[in-house]
Structure 1
Amino acid sequence: MRCVSMFLVILLLTIQVIPAKTLSPFDFHINGSDLILTRNDYFSFVNPDGLVVKTDTGFTANTSLLSDIVIPLSSCPTKVIVNGYQAFGSEPITLTEITPFVLISEYLPVARNLSIQLLPNMNNRTIRLNWTLNTNGGILCPHKILAFSETDDKRCEYETQHNYYEFDLLELNKTYKLGVAVRSLQNNSYNFENFVNYSTYQIPKMICPGPQSLLVVDGLQVKHLPKTMAHVVSWNGLSSQFRKCFSHYVMIQHEKRNGTTYLQMIRSIWHLNNIIYDIHEGSTYEYGVRVIYRNKIYAEVSQLVSISAVSVRSKECPCEFEEQRNRKWKLTLTLVHEDQNNTSTDLEYVILKSLTDVEIQNRTFELTIHDRKVVMREV
């Protein structure tokens, strides 16, 4: 019986032509969208009676000894094995094993434009999730599409061949992530997901905003207080829909002084009358505000508002404060309910007394609460 040695050659093939390797009976190159295996002079020493070509993605072909071996790159072969066999009795032997294809994320589709459709005559426990697949118009490697539903304690996946999936019998009073995953059949690390939030609460429960529904604050205003060299920053607060998700605001201050820009970030839990001191004469300032939510995501910075510092020697300052001196001030006490189990209580405002600027200057007051009544006395 004639013995034939086994040769194992591992090659890495990119879009360039890979030169022939010593002891390999084939040369490899790419022609358009195909991988071509061409026999070289060494093939005559191997001298098999037939060839079988297999790839790790299921491509199989029996080929003659005379023609080139053609493998479509669209099959995304990360491993190609060419077996030679004898006509009578001998076991197939591996003539060549190569890795001609490098898998990248662009060779897999991406799920986009997710939307939820309520089915007719059904409660909110049965819905259809729709999506589109962006295939980039190029090579499309083997993959599977999985629709999934996920809660805090459970995740279910369902394979589908469509651009939609109908979820039925969702549990009541749950908040779900409903989405679609595209997973490579060759490498499990290539797993791309997209999802939307969905609630089955009978009374709609607040769903904290996700990456696609972040809110940006508006109505940002900045006022300058020349006498104290301070800025008062205010903006429109969040709507009641997002209050349970709210964590805090971050004010962003850019100060431009002598050709240098200084950055300061200031945390705040209130959107009105945030006072920033230490304003430098001659500097210009820009302010922006970002909302931080409890689930550790944040919105983009609001549109920046610019303001120039007013000189403390400005002639307009004394006139401005002379007008304020004759106005009355309202001393206001804010009562906040601190029960963490009941965050829906609104703020209560109690106007204690109207005082003129002269009356409150250099005076200290003590406030005491007795039976829901506020008592104010001078100390």
Structure 2
Amino acid sequence: MMNQFPREEGLDHSLNLLREGYMYIPNRKKSFASNVFETRLLGQNAICMSGEKAAEIFYDEEKFMRNGVAPKRLQKTLFGEEGVQTLDDAAHRHRKSMFMALMTKSRLEALQDITEKQWRLATRKWEQMEQIVLYDEAKEIMCRIACVWAGVPVEEGEIKELAEQLAAMFESPTALGPQHWKGRRARKQVEKWVEGLVDQVREGHLNPAEGTALHEISLHKDLEGEYLEGRVAAVEVINILRPIVAIAIYINFTALAIHHYPEQKEKLETADAKYFQMFVQEVRRFYPFFPMAAAKVRKDFSWEGYLFKEGTLTLLDLYGTNHDTELWDNPDIFNPYRFSGWDKSPFDFIPQGGGDYMMGHRCAGEFVTIEIMEVSLNFLVNNIMYQLPEQDLSYSLVTMPSIPKSGVIMRDIRVK
């Protein structure tokens, strides 16, 4: 005998998900007193899960698959079509190995150098300005970092537009109306441009350095020994560029944490590298980024006394798991020291997904995120002085992605 899922009654709750955002699953987890429940989303039955045990089963590829899961509105904006996120089994592992090959020690060290240089260039410019909006500036900085590191050639005069196009891809998936269509147009335009770069690499007219994303993805061959279709290769290059630009969200929350917890700033001014990493990890745990991950049941199986039926859409609560009282002491308190004894479980701390990097669906770009955030944190604490004027620094747990409303306005910026 199988247990009955706690079930949310009603024909469809897609609008409720949009209204409640990051708190959709945590709210129902609390009301049902259960880490798993059933609902209806996008016109179909859906299972929602939260917690470490849920994450562990969710990333079991024998039980869940990703192909055919992402709605078209996400494929047309956030993910692109036929990218690594939509693959399973051998095809996924082969494509994922292409991304993991970009994360070598030497390439990550190069990323640190590029990031430091771009922050230095930006702060010199800011000294001449009355004020800046950090979110807007960070998107441009991240775009420059992404293009240099990925080997993607772009003219200085095109950076601002490209940064906005890449940002539109992650700012628009849950939006309605003009903002959503802006994201679709942006993806279409950038994919066409990057596909042209891929063609140039293959034809020998463009020669990005070996080890860069543009070089490796353009010349990558699938399991049949064929180049990826040009459009798909462009999607995968964008899967490097877009997430790096999205780190601008974390940069905003980093500045917010420095402002809201001044005692942390004092510690960081004399802290070692370990504490910087702990602080960065706590920013990634504490503040909202990805709300949830999606998969569908590969074949019938039972777990915790519940029957998971083949083909059922399943959502894993990322934000809620990172704030789970069963996993974290006082999760709503910002405390970097909680990571001093963290055992690096692949299933309790999952701001960018969980599981194994090489074999599973955990985001390969997590390495990139941490490297860039640590360098950026050092600049905000130890390399510049600035003032935050009165502004609305609140952020929403409904809007996805969540960004401080003012974008973090800075004035009187000076290099130390």
TM-score between both structures, scaled by the size of structure 1: 0.20
Structure number with higher relative contact order (C-alpha < 8 Å, ≥ 6 residues apart): 2
Higher strand proportion (structure 1 or 2): 1
Structure exhibiting the larger radius of gyration computed from Cα positions: 1
Higher helix proportion: 2
